[in-house]
Amino acid sequence: MAITASGLYVATMLDVFDATQLAYAYLADTMKIALFTDTITPNFGTDTAYGVAPYNANETSGGSWAAGGYTLATKTIAQDAIGYSVWDAADVSQATCTVTNAMAGLIYDDTLVGKNAVVLVDFVTAVSTTNGTLTITFTAPASGGIYNVKCTV
Amino acid sequence: MSTAPGYLPQGYKTSKKTHRVDGPPGVNNTETVHWDGHQDAHVRAKPVSVSMKVESIHNEGNE
């Protein structure tokens, strides 16, 4: 039982391309990042959504950090200099929050009825706040953003 | 009171103290404890990289 890696959720990606035609629209939709402790064990092949196991328990929130997470702002999708498509957003900064042992951030589409999971960001080391500011710095788009995809032939 | 660099009188409280959360090299998450007890945290997230390999491309073009 642990978070050992970051990753994209295959089920969501497949639903975008297959007959489901999932209307995942990163820029237009409300994307949230919810925090989870190291108690969960993600499975990037089978996990589907926020609110569905294992993301229906072991979420950490408190103070101004609400359950369900923080809404990402200033979202971008762009191609970098070496051909990667890069998804990015403004850094997270939430004051007066109390979260305990946050080990990863689940980014999901809050606009979709299914709250489909998109990507899990593994913090590698757990962090806590006490009525303080939680900052999550994403790398600049040129360095990879939140997540990036490269298609090769 | 001494004005020498680095000197702090007994009982003096610094305004905050930041420590790196123990972890593997290259991970630099930090927590900052302030004098009044509140605590901030800073996560430096690494990007998630995925590669997709296209096995073949069939372009029918315009007919």
Between these two residues, B7 and A140, which has the higher pLDDT value? A140
pLDDT of residue A120 exceeding 90, the answer is yes
In 3D space, the residue among A68, A125, A57, A121 whose CA is nearest the CA of residue A94 turns out to be A68
| A51/B63: higher pLDDT | A51
pLDDT score for B63: 56
**pLDDT on residue B1:** 46
Q: Please confirm whether the linkage preceding A54 is cis (ω < 30° from 0).
A: yes
How many other C-beta atoms lie within 10 A of the C-beta of residue A6?
Answer: 23
The pTM for the full model equals 0.90
Could you report the per-residue pLDDT of A53-69, keeping only the tens digit for each? 999 999 999 999 999 99
CB contact under 8 A, B38 and A130: yes
Residue reference for tokens 């919810």: A34
Name every residue in B having a CB less than 8 A away from some CB of A.
21-24, 27, 29, 31-32, 34, 37-54, 57
β-strand pairing of A92-97 with A132-137: antiparallel
Chain B residue whose CA is closest to A143: B47
Query: A16 by DSSP, 3-state: which?
Result: helix
Average pLDDT over residues A27-37: 98
Q: What does the pLDDT look like over A91-118, one tens digit per residue? A: 999 999 999 999 999 999 999 999 999 9
Would residue A44 be called left, alpha or beta, if left means φ above 0 and alpha means ψ between -120 and 50 degrees? alpha
Distance CA A72, CA A110 (A): 11
How does DSSP classify residue A127?
E
Give the helix ranges, DSSP H, for chain A.
Answer: 10-17
Model pLDDT, residue B52 = 80
Please give the ipTM for the structure prediction: 0.94
- CB distance B37 to B31 below 8 Å: no
**At A82, is the pLDDT very low, low, confident or very high (cuts 50, 70, 90)?**
confident
Q: Do B52 and A150 touch (CB under 8 A)?
A: yes
Residue spans of the domains in chain A: they are 7-142
Is B6 a residue whose pLDDT tops 70? no
Rounded distance between C-alpha atoms, residue B42 and residue A64, angstroms: 16
Is there a contact between A84 and A50 (Cβ–Cβ < 8 Å)?
A: no
Task: Say how far apart CA B30 and CA A104 lie, in whole Å.
Answer: 15
Q: What is the pLDDT of residues B33-51, one digit of tens each?
A: 999 999 999 999 999 998 8
With a pLDDT cut of 70, the percent of chain B lying above it is: 73
B55: β partners:
none
A146:B37 CB<8 A? no
Q: Do B43 and A145 touch (CB under 8 A)?
A: no
Listed in sequence order, the residues at least 6 apart from B2 whose beta carbon sits closer than 8 Å to its beta carbon are none
Check CB contact of A69 with chain B, cutoff 8 Å. no
A135 has pLDDT over 80: yes
* Dist. CA A64–CA A62, nearest whole Å: 6
